[in-house]
């Protein structure tokens, strides 16, 4: 259609003008093709260098979208209980649940978090750090407790301090996804890779853009095409259709792996923004002991009774805070209905509340959307499925891109031989 319009336009002009117009258009296309060739080279080498890692991040990310469901299946004996007709009303108190779990662990074990039952047929999951003979080294354990009877269903070793990798599947996948099993340094490296991969997917969009306006060719896979053409079309279309989700997931991943650097940029663009890492601090008082978990939870629920408790985390150190997550809060955004409350561990003062109604700046809104978007939970099952599919598209992009490079390489070598 574009070429026909050019011809029709040329017939309406004097011969010299028609020639000049066509010549100018051809020159413009040549410049664009030359520029695209440069972007293609950049996209190619970024893909070859980081495509394998993109595959790892994508596949592990797809698994983690449904980590709770997978973990429930793998540990059904620990995670599943007989549901009560009364539902949550029949749950034993959090103090009883906590006491039962502590009794199942060594006396020196430190309780780190409590995950509430996902539904009325699930158990409580409490995470502990158990000190070892090596200073500052701990084993990671989880204790599962029946919410209706406060009986311990079992304990689960997640990772021994001396082991390089976790023994449980989901923690292993999480550490592989977040840090390539390399701890803090690995997390930084993955964050840097995320920045480069953002640039890679942007160059892919530039290369995909049709210079002659033939949109059908770049939006579909040609039927009855050769293997080479099918591979090319599959790479092109899968990249385009997953681009929006893949870009968002990569960007949010950079935030979670490089929070300080990410927030420094956001705060420049939106002063006053606070990030997840900008946590408030408790004020230690001489001779005053921290309040217990039951009281901390009671304070929060008396202020915010709506929704369902999802998880609780314990204070880290003398200035740490209790953090309590409440989900399914109907008065909040229908796309993301979580409220996180931080309270002083000594006097129970509510220090910070994070939810869609407390966002003071555009940057705050942007930052607080990162985790919901990364996990796909911002849009319920639709969001989770989209993130799941975008993760599975990563190995497709890597393999088809690699095959395309090998095809061109063989063709180039063949021309040189001939």
In our burial notation (b when 16+ CB lie closer than 10 A, e otherwise), range 133-146 reads eeeeebbbbbbbbb
pLDDT the model gives residue 10: 44
pLDDT the model gives residue 275: 66
Give me the half-sphere count of Cα atoms (radius 13 Å) on the Cβ side of residue 180. 16
Higher pLDDT, 298 or 28: 298
58 and 395 in contact (C-beta within 8 Å)? yes
**In 3-state terms, what secondary structure has residue 144?**
strand
Q: How many CB atoms lie within 10 A of CB 189?
A: 15
Average model confidence (pLDDT) for the chain?
A: 89
What class has domain 274-359?
alpha beta
Give me the half-sphere count of Cα atoms (radius 13 Å) on the Cβ side of residue 55. 14
Residue 147 is classified by DSSP as T
Confidence of residue 249 (pLDDT cuts 50, 70, 90): very high
Question: Phi/psi of residue 143, each to 5°?
Answer: -120, 130
374 and 253 in contact (C-beta within 8 Å)? yes
**What DSSP line would sit under 351-364, residue for residue?**
EEEESTT---SHHH
Calculate mean pLDDT across residues 115-132. 95
Strand order in 308-313's β-sheet?
152-159, 138-145, 124-131, 110-115, 308-313, 321-327, 339-344, 350-354
What does the alpha-carbon distance between residue 349 and residue 257 come to, in Å, rounded to a whole number?
30
Domain ranges of the chain: 70-179, 274-359
**In 3-state terms, what secondary structure has residue 285?**
coil
Question: Phi/psi of residue 13, each to 5°?
Answer: -110, 160
What does the alpha-carbon distance between residue 285 and residue 30 come to, in Å, rounded to a whole number?
73
Q: How many CB atoms lie within 10 A of CB 280?
A: 17
H or E element that contains 309: strand 308-313
Higher pLDDT, 33 or 158: 158
pLDDT the model gives residue 12: 46
pTM: 0.85
**In 3-state terms, what secondary structure has residue 14?**
coil
Among the listed residues 61, 4, 49, 47, the one whose alpha carbon sits nearest the alpha carbon of residue 246 = 61
Calculate mean pLDDT across residues 333-354. 90
What does the alpha-carbon distance between residue 49 and residue 51 come to, in Å, rounded to a whole number?
6
| Contacts of 192 by beta carbon, 8 Å cutoff, 6+ apart | 258
pLDDT in tens, 132-179: 988 889 999 999 999 999 999 999 999 999 998 898 999 999 999 999
Residue 80 is classified by DSSP as B
Q: How many CB atoms lie within 10 A of CB 251?
A: 17
End-to-end CA distance of the chain: 37
Question: Phi/psi of residue 360, each to 5°?
Answer: -85, -25
359 and 365 in contact (C-beta within 8 Å)? yes
pLDDT the model gives residue 21: 62
pLDDT in tens, 264-291: 999 999 988 876 656 789 998 788 899 9
């Amino acid at each position: 259609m574009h070429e026909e319009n050019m011809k029709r336009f040329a017939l309406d002009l004097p011969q010299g003008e028609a020639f000049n117009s066509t010549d100018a258009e051809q020159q413009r296309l040549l410049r664009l093709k030359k520029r695209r060739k440069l972007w293609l080279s950049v996209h190619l080498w970024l893909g070859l260098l980081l495509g394998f890692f993109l595959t790892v991040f994508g596949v592990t990310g797809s698994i983690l979208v449904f980590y709770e469901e997978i973990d429930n299946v793998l540990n059904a004996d620990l995670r599943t209980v007989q549901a009560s007709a009364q539902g949550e009303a029949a749950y034993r108190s959090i103090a009883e649940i906590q006491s039962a779990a502590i009794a199942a662990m060594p006396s020196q074990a430190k309780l780190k978090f409590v995950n509430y039952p996902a539904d009325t047929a699930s158990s409580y999951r409490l995470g502990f750090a158990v000190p070892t003979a090596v200073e500052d080294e701990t084993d990671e354990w989880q204790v599962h407790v029946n919410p209706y009877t406060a009986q311990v269903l079992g304990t689960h070793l997640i990772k021994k301090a001396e082991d390089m990798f976790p023994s449980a599947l989901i923690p292993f996948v999480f550490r592989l996804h977040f840090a390539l099993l390399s701890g803090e340094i690995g997390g930084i490296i993955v964050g840097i890779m995320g920045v480069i991969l953002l640039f890679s997917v942007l160059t892919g969009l530039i290369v995909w853009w049709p210079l002659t306006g033939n949109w059908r060719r770049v939006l579909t896979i040609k039927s009855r095409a050769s293997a080479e053409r099918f591979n090319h079309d599959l790479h092109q279309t899968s990249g385009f259709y997953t681009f929006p989700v893949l870009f968002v997931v990569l960007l949010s991943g950079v935030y979670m792996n490089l929070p300080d650097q990410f927030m420094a940029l956001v705060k420049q663009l939106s002063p006053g923004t606070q990030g997840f890492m900008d946590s408030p601090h408790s004020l230690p008082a001489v001779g005053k002991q921290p309040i217990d978990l039951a009281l901390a939870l009671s304070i929060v629920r008396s202020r915010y009774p709506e929704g369902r408790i999802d998880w609780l985390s314990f204070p880290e150190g003398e200035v740490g805070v209790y953090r309590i997550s409440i989900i399914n809060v109907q008065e909040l955004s229908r796309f993301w209905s979580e409220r996180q409350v931080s309270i002083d561990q000594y006097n129970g003062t509510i220090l910070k509340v994070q939810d869609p109604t407390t966002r003071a700046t555009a940057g705050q809104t942007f930052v607080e959307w990162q985790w919901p978007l990364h996990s796909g939970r911002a849009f319920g099952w639709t969001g989770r499925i989209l993130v799941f599919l975008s993760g599975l598209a990563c190995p497709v992009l890597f393999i088809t891109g690699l095959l395309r490079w090998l095809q061109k390489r063989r063709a180039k070598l063949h021309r040189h031989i001939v």
